[in-house]
Chains A and B, each alone.
Chain A
């Protein structure tokens, strides 16, 4: 109970801190928020009226209290850019990011973990070098460039993948958003065409993002594994006559499950935070693009709302990996 309460308190404090910092940044930026709303050529009367409507004539601390009060009531304000409530906007764009990030992290784990294990087992030999090169490319090529190249090769030349966007433009609006994740919504609505189209559109951007996550996860897996393979219990297991596969997959990999979970969770959180560049290249209307657009338009309500969601995701994933620890590591139970 006490633990639960202190956890709750720390989450609440983190949120309040996050609110304060983002709020202050929003006010410190040398951009006049009134201009962001009404444009540059507005008459003096309109300017004064909007300024008052936005509460900008109040002292800063009152503005902040007002904002916190609104947020507690679930009111994140209205976005200047979309004329819609920020909460509605975020709920619309977040599933797009969730879909992409989930697909990418699955690719990352499915390919990255075995690759990392292979590299560790064959340390210094060709599988290790190969995986290192793949990882190096993943770390040194900008995602923006790789995304464009992938579009050029797989979409424009080979006609292998569809163009940018979440679905073909003709399928746009066919399925009513329920979860916001188009693949899921299409299945719920019984529209297999839309499902396949959405999945097909997901393929390229998810592979690109997944590639980066493969590079990261493989590298981390490799170093965790190397650590374990040096341990005495591994030698003992081998001496006991266990098969090499069992030694590696059950004993060594089993023991790195905990730190690996953190790596995967962090990688997932990073992807959820929005992969602005990938979203830009693939015209993927996700959270990263939303926050960036809002920032560039000085749409502070939207920026604050988006930042809070990102913060919530981080805190949530942290909690989740905490819980997973306990499942994976008997000592933490």
Chain B
């Protein structure tokens, strides 16, 4: 080796050595083996959050945020959704004509600001949601509330009494379930009013700040980066056991797994089967599965003359390998479910009549005049598991000669096409907006106007399924005040849709949560706004 090379190698060795020493030296200091006991740390993909204003929140992660910071009038029991409990409202009565709800507001609740929570705050929260008319406003406006009449229809008659009037007599459970939705969160009217700019009801401010009364106070939100909370020591239901909650946006599931295994986070939210399956044997980690109200389905556009044939609609339902998918790509992500009401909803039909049966499908296709099958396109969002499902269906449908040409695209692109009714078949998911059966019946079994320029665009409209009879039945069900009768009506609606509809509903989503075993008290409800960190504690 010549002198120059020797010098260079020498320099490199010294540099590497120095780097190693620095690395080892610093590693002793800041690495924490486990997160502190008074802090709950979670890794989660929450890049869908676009606003923190409960009058505007319409994203899954946003809904979960709302439930930590705000209180709602009533809540449902996460273990038995049919039970509705008072929350901010300690009790309520319904007038004989079924159109006036009177809520008694619990005494002694204080907002994070120290302001007392009164019926005025509740009324103003509802009024602002209706007047702002953002994404979730329809949950309230479907009761006939408009920006013009809402001050009349929702009002505080005294600091502890809230009156809520609807335009028609609806099933009381329907009204109450809607009151459990995020949009009804009670905001600190006194505080938010001071933040109003140009009559925006404080929306610009509340998008990135909080004004609630819940167990946690928002500390910081950095979009797609960090969400942190401080405990509210004065929470009326009891102070949380932890002092802080830190939620970090970790996009990559494999990274989430590493963080969890190392104990740098207490919970990982977005593990896929390849990450959580190997963790099942790890005694430091617990895998929790929580069924959610989201359905995976594909729609058949009735504007397509092939798909408009009833036999073809039916045949498609026999061309999905439900059980095969459940065991493979949907392992841990969903369970087979074919009716439009998810398990846990009032009246949900949980028997799944369809099995993969290519022979039967072939028979039906023959009756329809397609003995050799046909070619058709399917739009699908290019993410997992949608894409995997579409590929599996492509494979299973080929057995009856149905050649599916997949058109993968970004989710918003798929929705844009869907709303224009330009698809043949389209695979997507539908999440319930609130816990009442009407949320799904209204979209899977009602289509008030099938014309191209209809105002409402439910899934039935998007697939051009014109069903005046069924629409009337759905309307009747939401006004049925006897709960048992109502459940029976939904049973019938679901069976009709199961039998003959352009919807092939396949799976109900399961959320898989991986928790460190020293963590307890987390509640994973059937919807994202019923996931609660309030009682979390660490040993």
**Residues of A in contact with B (beta carbons under 8 Å apart):** 29-32, 35-36, 38-46, 49, 79-84, 89, 92, 110, 114, 118, 121-122, 127, 148, 151-152, 155-156, 159-165, 168-170, 172-173, 193, 196-197, 199-200, 203, 244-245, 248, 280-283, 285, 289-290, 293, 296-298
Q: In the complex where A118-B5, A298-B412 touch, is A156 in contact with B262 (Cβ < 8 A)?
A: yes
Of residues 220 through 257 on chain B, the ones whose CB sits less than 8 Å from some CB of chain A are 220, 222-226, 228, 246, 248-252, 254-255
Q: In the complex where A30-B416, A49-B133 touch, is A293 in contact with B224 (Cβ < 8 A)?
A: yes
A31 and B255 contact, CB distance less than 8 A = no
Which 5 residue pairs of A and B lie closest in terms of their CB atoms, listed nearest first? A82-B223, A44-B455, A32-B416, A83-B207, A39-B135
Give 9 pairs: A residue, B residue, CB < 8 Å, sorted on A: A32-B416, A43-B455, A44-B455, A148-B252, A170-B36, A173-B228, A197-B30, A280-B251, A283-B251
Q: Which one of B5, B12, B223, B433 lies within 8 Å of A121 (CB-CB)?
A: B5
Q: In the complex where A41-B433, A148-B254, A169-B246 touch, is A46 in contact with B135 (Cβ < 8 A)?
A: yes
**Residues of B in contact with A (beta carbons under 8 Å apart):** 2-5, 7-8, 11-12, 15, 23-24, 26-27, 29-32, 36, 39, 41, 47, 50-51, 58-59, 133-135, 137-138, 141, 207-208, 219-220, 222-226, 228, 246, 248-252, 254-255, 258-259, 261-262, 264, 409-410, 412-413, 415-417, 419, 433, 455-456
Q: In the complex where A41-B135, A44-B456, A203-B23 touch, is A285 in contact with B225 (Cβ < 8 A)?
A: yes
How far is A114 from B222 in the complex, measured between Cα atoms in Å?
41
Q: Which one of A80, A83, A159, A248 lies within 8 Å of B27 (CB-CB)?
A: A159
- CB-nearest residue of chain A to B36: A170
Q: Which one of B2, B47, B138, B249 lies within 8 Å of A43 (CB-CB)?
A: B138
Residues on the B chain within 8 Å of A148, using CB: 252, 254-255
Shortest CB-to-CB span from B269 to chain A, Å, is 14
Secondary structure dominating the interface of B: mixed
B258 and A165 contact, CB distance less than 8 A = no
How far is A81 from B223 in the complex, measured between Cα atoms in Å?
7
Residues on the A chain within 8 Å of B262, using CB: 155-156, 163
Q: In the complex where A43-B138, A172-B228, A200-B26 touch, is A31 in contact with B31 (Cβ < 8 A)?
A: no
A35 and B412 contact, CB distance less than 8 A = yes
How far is A168 from B433 in the complex, measured between Cα atoms in Å?
36
How far is A296 from B58 in the complex, measured between Cα atoms in Å?
18
Shortest CB-to-CB span from A41 to chain B, Å, is 7
- CB-nearest residue of chain A to B147: A45
- Tell which of B39, B59, B134 has the most Cβ of chain A within 10 Å: B134
Residues on the B chain within 8 Å of A163, using CB: 255, 258-259, 262, 264
Residues on the B chain within 8 Å of A83, using CB: 50-51, 207-208, 223
Q: In the complex where A31-B410, A32-B419, A81-B50 touch, is A114 in contact with B255 (Cβ < 8 A)?
A: no
How far is A227 from B519 in the complex, measured between Cα atoms in Å?
63
Given contacts A162-B30, A163-B259, A293-B47, 13 further A-B pairs with CB under 8 A are A30-B413, A32-B419, A46-B135, A151-B258, A155-B258, A160-B23, A162-B31, A168-B30, A169-B41, A196-B30, A199-B26, A200-B26, A297-B412
